Structure 1
């Protein structure tokens, strides 16, 4: 039987997992990444994904423990309940570790997870940024989007898969007799357009290529000794568009105004919190 001991607010995803019995680790991780791709996390400082991997390849997971922070008491509970996977919202490994010793509690946690074969996965800001994620849940304290308020991310993230996974657009003008297949054979280089043209040297073809940084280097190497071709090469960095639905934080505009105390009570009700601090 598949068991979950602690839920965070991503209820829809968790309910999907609890209906199944015994799932391979990679299948579970794929579902989490489908819900909130890791590219949504703030790559400049955050540390997300699998942080502790088991020695067994793709084990069957029957019990998961969800927690906001992976402390020693939480880990002891996971071991007691025989959980094979811990989803820790905040990453237990944040700064680079120079050693793993028993003198530091954070290092002890990692050592104990390895000893007991427990996988640790942290989603952190990817769950903040995703549409219908943690931020969206928090602002639901004020009602229904579009009906009671309008919202937008404070800082939008770039879409990962558009216009392509490649990072550059390269154009090159080749003599008509040149073999374009040499370019097509390069890994991560996709010819997206071929236009016949005429240069001072005669009939030619202008080729547009979507390619990775490594592929750019390979194309340059192809024509290293052909200056008449090298000087025609132009490279444009592809900028991916912003995703208006996903990003860090949420700025909302209420349809009806509320006092600060009313707003606090709304949040307390949502989070089932019985106390608050109000600074005026």
Structure 2
């Protein structure tokens, strides 16, 4: 199976458009020489131990949930551990792909898996994802003749890179030709400047901001109103079992005990304080929060369970492996990393 075909399957399962704008997702390392994809390795983090595992397996594609290349780099040198891993992937002809927050956001993704550890409930998204066209503004104006319309359109096209503008005009009437133009945020200012140079568009111009439509079930974080409320102590045991951990960290909310009832729980995989901070819930579940973020939650009467960052995400890999494997031919083997683990442990 070709790399592009596997990438198409990954995109179908979790569109990269769902990722946060700050994230670095998608194909991060692409081999120069195409080779059939026979072995895919799933890992939460691409570390030296995981790369050794991939080399032993003669892996063709590494799907690393966290992007091993995140910030811009100016050189590939041996002094930086992430750059060393990228070099080894290139030398071995391995592709590296990262889905990160697209998996967090998607319906049935990491956060739905995480909140499911407490049992069934009415689940809602905390930070709604939006879809739709990339165009952010609509400009409506009039021109007096087809000749004026052609002149305006030619000027707009000259200032555009070919992707930022879409223009349509209606049939002329007694007042002229009604024109509607949609553009991206980057094309808004130059487009307006061009229209203001023409008398008819200048006098009739109106600008509307376009909102992207919400994508039901997709977005960051989840809030569950549990069908069967549990105690804090039971919630701890359920999450230990769900995450496969012997230990979790707990901060009891003000006035709460281990026997206090949990009717509502808010979760965010990874580092979740920015998503959870304004939420009202009996319990927060995430990988990590700062000391002061925990204090803020506790003061509001919200208990907090912390698993350490990647422990709140890693278990989803097994779920995704099954989804991916059934969509790939039998000739492609999808393997869960055995070397991948959270760098922190309780000692």
Q: TM-score, normalised by structure 1?
A: 0.76
Return the offset for 1:256.
2.3
Structure 1: segments with no counterpart, 5+ residues: 1-22
Match of 1:87? Answer: 63
Match of 2:226? Answer: 254
Match of 2:248? Answer: 276
Return the offset for 1:191.
4.5
User: d(CA) in 1 for partners of 2:124 and 2:35?
Assistant: 40
User: d(CA) in 2 for partners of 1:191 and 1:95?
Assistant: 36
Alignment of 1:54-133 (within 5 A): 54-56=31-33, 58-133=34-109
Cα distance change of structure 1 residues 249 and 213 upon mapping to structure 2, 3 Å threshold = closer
Return the offset for 1:122.
0.7
Cα distance change of structure 1 residues 220 and 248 upon mapping to structure 2, 3 Å threshold = closer
Question: What's the CA shift string for 1:220-266, capped at 9, x where partnerless?
Answer: 68757532333322222211123231111111111222111211221
Match of 2:21? Answer: 43
User: d(CA) in 1 for partners of 2:185 and 2:235?
Assistant: 49
Bigger shift: 133-142 or 264-273? Answer: 264-273
Structure 2: segments with no counterpart, 5+ residues: 253-347
Say how many residue pairs are matched. Answer: 245
Match of 1:239? Answer: 211
User: d(CA) in 2 for partners of 1:97 and 1:129?
Assistant: 27
Cα distance change of structure 1 residues 183 and 228 upon mapping to structure 2, 3 Å threshold = closer
RMSD over equivalenced CA pairs, Å: 2.7
Alignment of 1:4-23 (within 5 A): 23=1
Question: What's the CA shift string for 1:187-212, capped at 9, x where partnerless?
Answer: 554445627555xxxx3122223334
1:266 aligned onto 2:200: no
Bigger shift: 229-238 or 132-141? Answer: 229-238
Q: TM-score, normalised by structure 2?
A: 0.63
Bigger shift: 114-123 or 172-181? Answer: 172-181
Return the offset for 1:61.
0.7
